[in-house]
Structures are given as C-alpha cells and as structure tokens.
C-alpha cells in the first residue's frame, strides 16, 4: 500500500537581515523623497531646466543650505532623479516581460515595448528628463546613473538575445552589418547581460530601440495625435515594422486582433 505523506507546512517567512531603520534614518529618507517629489513637479510644470534648490527649500519651509545635507549639489539631485526614472521604466518593462511565458519571444518583445510606451505616456516629465531636452549644463556621471541606465537597456537586449537563441528572430534577415565596433558603454552593457560578446545582436536591438524612442518622442512632444486619430493602431504597425527589421519571423509579427483604439 502506498503511504501518502501529509502536506508540508509552509515555511515561515525569512527574517530580514537588515536592521530596522532608526527614526533619524526614516526622517532622512522621508525628506529625500519630499525633495524629489517637489523637483519632479517642477520638471512637470516648467521643463527640464526648472529644478531649483532654492524654490524647493522655500516650499519646504527650510533654508537652502539645509538641502545640501541631502544632495551636495543641483547636479546630484538631477542624477538621483535620472536614476529613479531609469529604474522605474526598467521595472515596468521587466514586469511586462515576466508576465508573458518565457517561450513566447515575440510577445515578450512586444510586452516590453508596450510597457515602455505606457510608462512614457504616463510619465512625460521623467521621459523628458532622460530622453528629451538635456538639463542645461548637466552631464550625467556614470557612477550615479550608469547602473540604472544599464538595467533599462539590458531588459530589451536580453529579450532579443533569447529570441535569437530560440530561432524566433534571425539576424541574417536584418540590414545591420555583421560587425560594428562597440563603444565603452556598449562593452559595459554586453558584459552585464545575455548578449556578452554579441555586438551584432546589440547593434540590431539598439537600432530598433532608437526607432521606438523616435516614435515615442513624436507621440509625446510632437503632433502625432493631431496627425493620426488612432495612435495605438499606428503604434502596433510601427512595432511590427521594427520587429521585421530585427529579423523576427513574419509569422510572429501579425497584427494584434485585440488591438484597442486610442492610446
């Protein structure tokens, strides 16, 4: 006779190894969050050059010098906002990717792109900060913004690499040269993700990503809504065009039957 074991009890949740925050640390994090929130509102209302520490201090009812305990300079605050924006869009894309079964490579790519568009439309000020008009006089320091920017780029690069490995996309069907010398940033990104050593695949994905960025820029900053009354349908067509240019199988790039109208 077969003995049936009783169901195992669920394991207790693992205790966090991090010590609880002190009240001082909690207050510091809350103040940093408030500074960032006001800075983002300045961006949304007045554009990328509008972040002003004096105005932030005035709204918080404190001296401007007090803010330097949290951000050493205006540029440091801008870098923190950029890193947050890159992390936010990377999180959105990764969540959309993971919601699609791992073997459905074309759907995963579409999900990542759709999440990128949805985040951009919902967060135009953050989109403008990292992809639009540069902040006057600001140059992003690699150590401050590089890890978050790398996460943002790694999500679509890794999805495309998996599609190629599975045969869902064929680099030979693209117009991208088989060899392009990679710059320092690309070398760093290739070392972080699944595309290690594959500069050809990276060049295909980057070309596609540039096309998608151009579309979103026209939709957010341009007059696309006045030119086309159904931007969602045009987006789907553009995305299919990009995927064909990346070498995705035509059978995997057919129009979505459930494509909604509007945004």
Q: Which CATH architecture has domain 23-72?
A: Orthogonal Bundle (1.10)
The residue ranking higher by pLDDT, 31 or 178, is 31
Class of domain 83-252: mainly alpha
Q: For residues 112 and 3, give the distance between their C-alpha atoms in angstroms, rounded to a whole number.
A: 47
Q: 8: which 2 tokens?
A: 């195992």
DSSP 252: G
d(CA 168, CA 250): 10
Express each pLDDT in 146-202 by its tens digit. Answer: 889 888 988 998 999 999 999 999 999 999 888 777 777 666 656 655 444 467 888
- On the question of pLDDT at 5 being above 60, the answer is no
Question: Average per-residue pLDDT in the chain?
Answer: 85
| Amino acid 219: pLDDT | 92
Cα Rg of the chain (Å, integer): 22
Domain spans in the chain, listed from the N-terminal domain onward? 23-72, 83-252
The whole-model pTM stands at 0.83
């Amino acid at each position: 006779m077969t003995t049936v074991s009783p169901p195992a009890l669920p394991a207790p949740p693992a205790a966090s190894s991090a010590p609880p925050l002190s009240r001082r640390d909690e207050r510091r994090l809350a103040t940093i969050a408030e500074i960032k929130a006001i800075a983002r509102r300045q961006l949304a209302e007045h554009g990328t050059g509008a972040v002003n520490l004096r105005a932030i201090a005035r709204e918080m009812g404190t001296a401007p010098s007090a803010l330097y305990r949290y951000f050493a300079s205006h540029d440091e605050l801008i870098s923190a906002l950029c890193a947050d924006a890159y992390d936010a869009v990377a999180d959105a894309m990764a969540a959309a990717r993971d919601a699609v079964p791992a073997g459905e490579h074309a759907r995963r790519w579409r999900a990542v792109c759709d999440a990128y568009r949805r985040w951009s439309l919902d967060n135009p000020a953050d989109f403008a900060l990292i992809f639009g008009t540069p902040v006057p006089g600001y140059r992003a320091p690699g150590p401050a913004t590089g890890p978050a920017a790398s996460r943002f780029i790694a999500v679509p690069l890794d999805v495309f690499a998996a599609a190629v490995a599975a045969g869902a996309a064929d680099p030979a069907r693209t117009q991208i040269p088989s060899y392009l010398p990679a710059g320092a940033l690309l070398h760093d990104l290739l070392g972080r993700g699944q595309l290690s050593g594959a500069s050809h695949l990276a060049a295909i994905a980057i070309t596609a990503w540039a096309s998608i960025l151009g579309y979103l820029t026209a939709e957010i900053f341009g007059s696309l809504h006045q030119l086309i009354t159904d931007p969602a349908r045009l987006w789907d067509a553009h995305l299919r065009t990009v995927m064909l240019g990346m070498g995705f199988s035509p059978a995997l790039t057919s129009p979505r039957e459930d494509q909604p109208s509007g945004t």
